[in-house]
Structure 1
Amino acid sequence: MTLGGQIAWDDTVLPFQLDRSDIRGRVARLDGALEKVLEQHAYPPQIEALVAEAALLTAMIGQTMKLRWKLSLQIRGSGAARLIATDYFAPSAPGEPARIRAYAAFDADRLAPDAAPFSQIGEGYFAILIDQGAGTTPYQGITPITGKSLADCAQTYFAQSEQLPTRFALTYGRSQLPGAAAHWRAGGVMLQTMPKASPFANAGGSGEGGLLDAADVLEGDDAEHWTRANMLLDTVEELELVGPSVQPTDLLVRLFHEEGPRVFDPQSVHFGCSCSADKVRQSLSIYSAKDIRSMTTEEGTVTADCQFCGAHYVFDPKTLGFEAEGDAD
């Protein structure tokens, strides 16, 4: 694979369908977008790994939704990793890139240095939030933290909340090509059955804690197709997932050539943040002048930092809150 071919597939999500199996999927590669997400913060390795996995999941899940605006993923736990939050912003116009951002909140003194990243979350919940913009009601689906990875949590979410058997094969980490600096790369394959009514939607599940599993929502030919596609995906290698030596189209042929893979237009993904001074002002508009004074620094300003991109905002307190006295600068 040439360098040009590698770059062409970096930071993309490629949708595909397995015609024989009635299964849809995505192949994702994140490179510069993931590096931008992580370089905003000096995270410990365990937190970096969790943010990388969450960002990759978000890019793949976001691309499956018919979004007009934003899909968010939130993981909240009782452990050292208290929060992992990601956003996927749909393309603003055909041909435009989607945008992702992510950050984590954690207690450094509670991190177990030799424990697996996922174990740092503890008990909690995995949530997907969909916001289609002004004039719509946001949707939120929540399932418990389960399994051994964030990918396991996402699979449980789709089986339990959407009755859509879903499988992720992911890998991520620092990569270094000869003569180049080490940087983050991530790649993965997502499989998902096509939406249809499930005869078991209201039944108890066989998964952890009685949650639904793929086996609970499939039967007959659908179950056979799903099992076969998953067996094929089990043969994938980490270097094939993350690249850069194997193109996504070649990977699909290698894995699923007997399933009739059909690809669609790829979607590029960039790092991007939606924060702005106006949005910060709006968020502070609910506070009184007294509240604003309590937020004012010794220098006589009110400051705010974006957790996603690190942008730093400085305001005149007189221009903030519902009792603002002056015009914004």
Structure 2
Amino acid sequence: MTTGNQIAWDDTVLPFQLDASDIRGRVARLDGVLEQVLKQHDYPPLIEGLVAEMALLTALIGQSIKLRWKLSLQVRGSGPARLIATDYYGPTEDGEPARIRAYASYDAERLDENADPFSQIGQGYFAILIDQGQGMTPYQGITPIAGGSLSACAQTYFAQSEQLPTRFELTYGLSQLAGEGTHWRAGGIMLQHMPKASPEMKGEGGSGEDGLLEATDILDEDEGENWNRANVLLDTVDALELIGPSVAPTELLVRLFHEEKPRVFDPQPVKFGCSCSADKVRQSLSIYSAKDISTMITDAGTVTADCQFCGAHYVFDPDTLGFEANDESA
């Protein structure tokens, strides 16, 4: 695969279907998106890895949402990696890129850089939120932190909250092509069994950690055979096939699933993008009184705000903020 083809597939999500198995999926490769996400902050390597994994999950999951919808993933834990939050904004028009942004909050003094990154999250929850737009009630689903990775948490979420058997195979890290510097790259595949009208649960509880549901708790015998076969095939994928420049996603699907009759759909380009604006910051401060606003004034006589996702810096005249704002100076 040439460099030109490599660039064409970077920052792209390719949806597909395995017609012989009743399974759908997506292949994602992120390059410039991760660079843009991570360069906004000086994260330690451990946190960078968690953010990269979360951004890749967000791209794979987000591709299915409709135009102009917003999907958010959040992990909150009791450990030093307190919060990882990502947003996926569906394209405003067909053919346009979707936008991804990500942010992490952590306690640097408690962080153990030599520990397994996932262990630094501790106990907490994994959540998916979908905002369908103005006038619609946002959807929110939450499951406990479980498994040994963020992708395992996502798999548990889909089994527990959506009754959809789901599998992720991800690779991410610093990469370097000949003659170039190092930069972050990620690639992954998501498999998901087609939803059933009324999934039947086996037994009273799940077979996963703390009784949470897993794929085998949801599928019947025939579906289980199809699911297991697709997963065995996915187990054979090599990290370089997911992340390297030599194998196109279309070629990879044929390598892995040619007997399952893979069928691809239109790819979805993604890019880094933030939705923050001065108007949104002003709106968020509209709940405060002039007295409250006065406590936020800096030595320079202004009120400032920074976007946690993109680092944008906003400066306001305090008289223009809050529900008692002076309209003439706004």
TM range (shorter): over 0.9
Question: What is the DSSP-based 3-state SS (H/G/I as helix, E as strand, rest coil) of the residue aligned with 1:8?
Answer: helix
Q: Give the TM-score of the pair, scaled to structure 1.
A: 0.98
Cα deviation per residue 1:9-56 (whole Å; 9 max; x = unaligned)? 000000000000000000000000111000000000110000000000
The C-alpha deviation readout for 1:193-247, integer Å capped at 9, x for no partner, is: 0111211189411110000000000012111000000000000010001122110
Which residue is equivalent to 1:257? Answer: 258
CA distance in 2, matches of 1:225, 1:287: 56
Conserved? CA contact 1:26–1:189, under 8 Å: yes
CA deviation map 1:138-196 (0-9, x unaligned): 00000000000000000000000000000000010010000011100000000000111
1:162 corresponds to: 162
Whether the aligned pair in 2 keeps the contact of 1:14 and 1:267 (CA below 8 Å) is yes
Rounded to whole Å, the distance in 1 between the matches of 2:59 and 2:329 is 36
Secondary structure at the counterpart of residue 104 of structure 2: strand
Q: Where does residue 116 of structure 1 map in the other structure?
A: 116
Give the whole-Å Cα distance in 1 for the aligned partners of 2:200 and 2:327.
Answer: 61
CA contact (8 A) 1:163 1:201 kept: no
The CA deviation at 1:68 is 3.5
Which piece of structure 1 moves more, 213-222 or 9-18? Answer: 213-222
Q: CA RMSD in A?
A: 1.1
Alpha-carbon offset, residue 265 of structure 1? 0.3
Aligned to 1:312: 313
Aligned to 1:199, what secondary structure does the other structure show?
A: coil
What's the secondary structure of 2:263's corresponding residue? Answer: strand
For 1:327 and 1:154, locate their aligned partners in 2 and report how far apart those are by CA, in whole Å. Answer: 49
Partner of 1:286: 287
Q: Is 1:106 the equivalent of 2:120?
A: no
Query: 1:18 aligns to what?
Result: 18
Shift of 1:67: 5.2
Contact 1:165 1:213 in 2 (8 A): yes
Separation in structure 1 between the aligned mates of residue 51 and residue 209 of structure 2, nearest angstrom:
24
Q: Aligned partners of 1:212, 1:328: CA distance in 2, in Å?
A: 56
- Counterpart in the other structure of 1:148: 148
User: d(CA) in 1 for partners of 2:247 and 2:315?
Assistant: 47
Paired residues, number? 329
Please give the alpha-carbon distance, in whole angstroms, between the structure 2 residues aligned to 1:166 and 1:328: 53
Provide closer, same or farther for how the CA distance between residues 328 and 52 of structure 1 changes in structure 2, counting only shifts above 3 A: farther
Q: CA offset at residue 322 of structure 1?
A: 0.2
The letter for the 1-side match of 2:244 is: G
Structure 2: tracts of 5 or more residues without a match:
none
Residue 230 (1) aligns with residue 231 (2): yes
| Residue 298 of structure 1: how far off its partner (Å) | 1.1
Residue 45 of structure 1 aligns with which residue? 45
Pair 67,144 (structure 1): closer, same or farther in 2 beyond 3 Å: farther
Alignment match, 1:34: 34
Amino acid at match of 2:43: Y
Equivalent residue, structure 1, for 2:136: 136
Secondary structure, in 3 states, of the residue corresponding to 1:303?
strand
1:202 to 1:61, Cα distance in 2 relative to 1, 3 A: farther
Partner secondary structure for residue 109 of structure 2: helix
1:208-247 to structure 2, matched below 5 A, reads 208-247=209-248
> Which structure 1 residue ranges, 5 or more long, are not aligned?
none
Q: Is the 8 A contact 1:67 1:132 kept in 2?
A: no
**Contact persistence 2:67–2:94 (CA under 8 A):** no
Equivalent residue, structure 2, for 1:65: 65
Q: Which residue of 1 aligns with 2:190?
A: 190
Deviation readout 1:82-140 (Å, 9 max, x if unpaired): 00000000000011000000000000000112101111100000000000110100000
Q: Distance in 2 between matches of 1:204 and 1:139?
A: 24
Q: Which residue number in structure 1 is paired with residue 277 of structure 2?
A: 276
Query: Which is further off, 194-203 or 260-269?
Result: 194-203
